[in-house]
Amino acid sequence: MSLVQKLRKKSARIGIVGLGYVGIPLALRFTGAGFGVVGFDIDPDRVKSLNAGRSPIRHIPPAEIAGMVEKGFAATGDFARIAEVDAIVICVPTPLGRHREPDLSFIVGTMKSIAPHLREGQILSLESTTYPGTTAEVLLPFVRERGLEVGKNFHLVYSPEREDPGNKQFNTRSIPKIVGGMTPACRDAGQALYEGAIDKVVPVSSTQVAELTKLLENIHRSVNIGLVNEMKTIADKMGIDIFEVIEAAATKPFGFTPFYPGPGLGGHCIPIDPFYLTWKAREYELNTQFIELAGDVNRNMPNWVVEKIATALNDREKALKGSRILALGIAYKRDVDDMRESPSVRVMELLRDRGAQVEYSDTQVPVFPKMREHHFDLSSVRLTPKAVASYDCVVLLTDHSDFPYEMILKHAKLLVDTRGKYRKPNAKVVKA
Q: What's 82's DSSP letter?
A: G
pTM attached to this predicted model: 0.90
Residues 6 or more apart whose Cβ sits within 8 Å of residue 320:
309, 310, 313, 314, 351, 354, 355, 356
Domain, as residue range, for 239? 229-431
Residue 217 lies in a domain: no
Does residue 271 register a pLDDT over 90?
Answer: no
Does 198 share its domain with 300?
no
By three-state DSSP, how is residue 169 classified? coil
Interatomic CA distance for residues 166 and 334, integer angstroms? 8
Report yes or no on 212 lying in a domain.
no
Does the residue 355 lie in any domain?
yes
Residues 178 and 261 in one domain: no
DSSP 8-state secondary structure symbol assigned to residue 382: P
* Alpha helix segments (H runs only) across 239-258: 242-249
Q: Which of 146, 171, 205 is the last residue of a domain?
A: 205
Q: Measured between alpha carbons, how far is residue 328 from residues 118, 196, 289, 353, 417 in Å?
A: 48, 42, 34, 18, 10
Q: Is residue 252 part of a domain?
A: yes
Neighbouring C-alpha atoms within 13 Å toward the C-beta of 363: 12
Burial of residue 45 (number of CB atoms within 10 Å: 0-12, 13-18, 19+): exposed
Q: How confident is the model at residue 168 (pLDDT cuts 50, 70, 90)?
A: confident
Same domain flag for 257 and 403? yes
Assess whether 28 and 79 both reside in one domain: yes
Per-residue CA distances from 376 to 272, 357, 359, 372, 387 (Å): 23, 12, 9, 12, 20
Mean of all residue pLDDT scores within the chain:
94
Residue 138 lies in a domain: yes
Express each pLDDT in 60-74 by its tens digit.
999 999 999 999 999
Residues tagged active-site: 269
Could you read off the pLDDT of 363-392 as tens digits, one per residue?
999 999 887 778 899 999 999 999 999 999
Give the C-alpha separation, 411 to 389, whole Å: 5
Is residue 310, in this structure, part of any structural domain at all?
yes
pLDDT computed for residue 275 by the predictor? 86
Q: Are 43 and 116 in contact (CB under 8 A)?
A: no
Considering the domain architecture, whether residues 342 and 409 belong to the same structural domain is answered as yes
Q: What is the pLDDT of residue 246?
A: 97
pLDDT given at position 167: 79
pLDDT over 90 (residue 311): yes
- 72/199 same-domain check: yes
Q: Report the pLDDT averaged over residues 177-186.
A: 98
Closest CA relative to residue 60, chosen from 7, 21, 18: 21
In-domain check, residue 213: no
Q: What confidence score (pLDDT) does residue 370 get?
A: 84
Residues 277, 180 within the same domain: no
Residues 340 and 406 in one domain: yes
Looking at the structure of the chain, the number of domains it has is 2
Collect contacts of 287-294 with beta carbons under 8 A, ≥24 apart: 290/223, 291/219, 291/222, 291/223, 293/226, 294/219, 294/222, 294/223, 294/225, 294/226, 294/227
Where residue 418 falls among pLDDT bands split at 50, 70, 90? very high
CB half-sphere exposure, 239, CA atoms < 13 A: 1
Among residues 205, 221, 243, the one where a domain terminates is 205
> Which residue stretches of 316-429 are H helix?
343-353, 385-389, 405-411
Any idea what the CATH number is for the domain that residue 395 is in? 3.40.50.720
Residue 245 lies in a domain: yes
Average pLDDT on 67-83 reads 97
From the list 312, 344, 299, the residue with the least C-alpha distance to 431 is: 312
Looking at the structure, tell me whether residues 312 and 348 fall in a common domain. yes
Examine the domain organization and report whether 191 and 327 are in the same domain. no
- Residue 308 banded pLDDT, cuts 50, 70, 90: very high
Contact 152, 120 (CB under 8 A): no
**262 pLDDT more than 80:** yes
Banded model confidence at residue 426, pLDDT cuts 50, 70, 90 = very high
Q: What gap in Å lies between CA 147 and CA 226, rounded to an integer?
A: 47
Taking each helix axis from N to C terminus, what angle separates 289-315 and 343-353, rounded to the nearest 10 degrees? 50
E strands, 227-310, are: none
- The answer on pLDDT for 49 being more than 90 is yes
User: How many Å apart are CA 172 and CA 159, to the nearest integer?
Assistant: 13
Whether residue 273 sits in one domain with residue 403: yes
Same structural domain, 255 and 141: no
- For residue 79, count other CB atoms closer than 10 A to its CB: 18
Tell me the helix, strand and coil percentages in the chain, rounded to 5.
40, 15, 45
